Structure 1
Amino acid sequence: MADNKLSVDADSASKSSGPIEGRVGVVVIGRNEGDRLVQCIDSLTLMGLPIVYVDSASTDGSPEAARSRGADVLDLDLATPFTAARARNEGFARLLSIAPNIDYIQFVDGDCEIEQGWIASATDFLDQRSDVAIVCGRRRERFPDASFYNKICDEEWNTAVGESEACGGDALMRKSSFVAVDGYNGGIIAGEEPELCSRMRTKNMRIWRIDQPMTVHDADMHHFRQWWLRAIRSGFGYAQVWWTTRKTGKALYSRELVRAILWALIIPLIAVVGGLFAPIFLLILPAIYMAQTARMAIKQGAFNKFSWKVAALNIAGKFGETLGIFRFVSRLLKGKQGGAIFYK
């Protein structure tokens, strides 16, 4: 469950369609986003919407920049471990204190710029679909060609439209639906959106992706170390969300956990143990990884160099994910929650 209780007087879904002013509020979260945060807030201020910016100990003047653009700024107390989920929950609570009558909340990460027309289109969609709790759209990278890693992120955002299992960090949510499930689970470090959506689906709420430009994201990822930390964060999130949802009958990320442990732990362990008796096992190990890399690359296009690079990176990423799984298990055994794993 969420780390704080949320309250609302009535389900606002019954209100008729109309202008977004007075009906939509925005929660932006960020940490040392610099110009990206400025672009994010500037894309929102002309709409006349209440904006809450939740800052997590930035040292680059982000809170001041947000205030100068009319945002209500909430500085998180980092005596409690930081998570994006906790930041969104606290931002939502602050938003309700200044705009209690809104119908919908637009959550957006501080490294994203809202596309023109998105909030109006998303609001109209939710007005027409009372069975939908969350609507999201198309996210794209601002500089997909700036680095190999940015391009990978741009490919990741190319997801199918229609009913979805989950949303990402950028999404428009129905206030009453968000409140009905007590918001995000504030202790989850990564994968908080799928966990939230899972609880919503148990209450017959639906999540939808529409074919509409939503946000422009700036991954700003240029080095292997950033990508590696992102893989560790993903593995930690897989394990934590699986542990949180394991008793629901629909545990999330089971497949991802099995794949990571298989490729980064079980296969190498079998090869090492087998090598003690027959050295050929150690020679077979590289062949196994090469064959898997080829299989993944060929599915995307045998003559596409980008596909081969992505396939090789995905295999390597299983080791980072497994390290993240071990980190979660270690924290669990020690009874420690810990804070977010940053890759920027």
Structure 2
Amino acid sequence: RRREEFADNSIYNRLLDIEWNTPVGEAKACGGDSMMRVAAFKNVGGFNPSLIAGEEPELCVRLRQAGGKILRVDADMSWHDGQMTRFGQWWKRSVRSGYGYAEGAWLHGRSPERHWLKESLRIWVWSLVLPLLAIATFFPTHGLSILLLLLANLFSGYRAYRYTRSRGFGAKDAIAYGLFCIVGKYPQLVGQSQFYLLKLFKLQPTIVEYKGAF
């Protein structure tokens, strides 16, 4: 269990602390704080040096494909200092997240693993397809389409709220997490778009660093 050292310094640090609290037991992926068998790590070729985001989950895909298992142990492992105190930092980190989802789906989405394919499709549906559809049908539905879009987003946020509550967090934290899950789809769409634009024009990506962002 990675914990955010200064979770009370900002809502963004609190969101990180919630994110680190993944379910205990067998998992699909781990984060950067982990222990791996050296032989298993070497057997799959280690980390992919071309990735700028999502490198641990991508490694875990190959570890599991080679017959390995990823386990989340119910014990503290490390303290993390996100240093996120501004909205711009959170936005940039979410852009990086969207980019990582896109690259993961590009590499392993067509395999039986279907790595991050669902997450990537969800980003496009919620932040682009549904808003465009609501706008396109605004006049025929006399504005009802916008209300339906709002209700759909609220329901999505409520599902995130219930999940966060089930992980032992309080109502205030769960509400914040649910709201930011809704808003986060938009910077994630930016990250997804950046990945495919770089692929289209065959450009080299650069690392996205949120700690120095404004």
State whether TM-score is above 0.5: yes
Q: Which has the larger radius of gyration?
A: 1
1 CA distance for matches of 2:74 and 2:152?
39
Map residues 124-139 of structure 1 onto 2, 5 A cutoff. Answer: 138-139=1-2
Residues 1:272 and 1:343: Cα distance change in structure 2 (over 3 Å)? same
Residues 1:212 and 1:296: Cα distance change in structure 2 (over 3 Å)? closer
Residues 1:171 and 1:246: Cα distance change in structure 2 (over 3 Å)? same
The answer to whether the 8 Å contact 2:46/2:59 transfers is yes
Structure 1 vs Structure 2 CA RMSD:
1.9
The answer to whether the 8 Å contact 1:187/1:337 transfers is no
2 CA distance for matches of 1:314 and 1:157?
15
The offset of 1:299, in angstroms, is 5.3
Report what 1:174 is aligned to. Answer: 37
Report what 1:199 is aligned to. Answer: 62
Please identify which structure carries the higher strand content.
1
The offset of 1:175, in angstroms, is 1.8
The answer to whether the 8 Å contact 2:12/2:85 transfers is yes
Report what 2:146 is aligned to. Answer: 282
The offset of 1:181, in angstroms, is 0.9
The offset of 1:164, in angstroms, is 2.0
Q: Work out whether 1:251 is the aligned partner of 2:114.
A: yes
Q: Which amino acid aligns with 2:175?
A: W
2 CA distance for matches of 1:288 and 1:208?
34
1 CA distance for matches of 2:151 and 2:96?
28
Instruction: Report the 3-state secondary structure (helix = DSSP H, G, I; strand = E; otherwise coil) of the residue aligned with 1:275.
Output: coil
Match of 1:260 among 101, 109, 123: 123
Report what 2:189 is aligned to. Answer: 322
The answer to whether the 8 Å contact 1:185/1:196 transfers is yes
Match of 1:220 among 73, 78, 83: 83
Q: Work out whether 1:144 is the aligned partner of 2:26.
A: no
1 CA distance for matches of 2:45 and 2:30?
17
Report Cα offsets for 1:88-127 as digits up to 9, x if no partner.
Answer: xxxxxxxxxxxxxxxxxxxxxxxxxxxxxxxxxxxxxxxx
The answer to whether the 8 Å contact 1:165/1:194 transfers is yes
The offset of 1:305, in angstroms, is 2.8
Q: What is the percentage of aligned positions where both structures have the same residue?
A: 38
2 CA distance for matches of 1:142 and 1:299?
23
Report what 2:207 is aligned to. Answer: 340
Report what 2:179 is aligned to. Answer: 312
- Specify every segment of 5 or more residues in structure 2 that has no aligned partner in the other structure, as ranges: none
2 CA distance for matches of 1:331 and 1:310?
31
The offset of 1:276, in angstroms, is 4.5
Residues 1:251 and 1:325: Cα distance change in structure 2 (over 3 Å)? same
Bigger shift: residues 280-289 or 169-178: 280-289
The offset of 1:300, in angstroms, is 4.6
The answer to whether the 8 Å contact 1:185/1:192 transfers is yes
Q: Which amino acid aligns with 1:336?
A: L
Report what 2:18 is aligned to. Answer: 155
Report what 2:161 is aligned to. Answer: 297
Please identify which structure carries the higher helix content.
2
The offset of 1:212, in angstroms, is 2.5
Q: Which amino acid aligns with 2:46?
A: G
Poorly superposed stretches of 4+, deviation over 6 Å: none
TM-score by length of 2: 0.88
The offset of 1:214, in angstroms, is 1.1
2 CA distance for matches of 1:266 and 1:146?
36
The answer to whether the 8 Å contact 1:188/1:241 transfers is no
1 CA distance for matches of 2:67 and 2:3?
30
Bigger shift: residues 290-299 or 144-153: 290-299
Q: Which amino acid aligns with 1:272?
A: I
Report what 1:75 is aligned to. Answer: none
The answer to whether the 8 Å contact 2:24/2:73 transfers is yes
The offset of 1:291, in angstroms, is 4.0
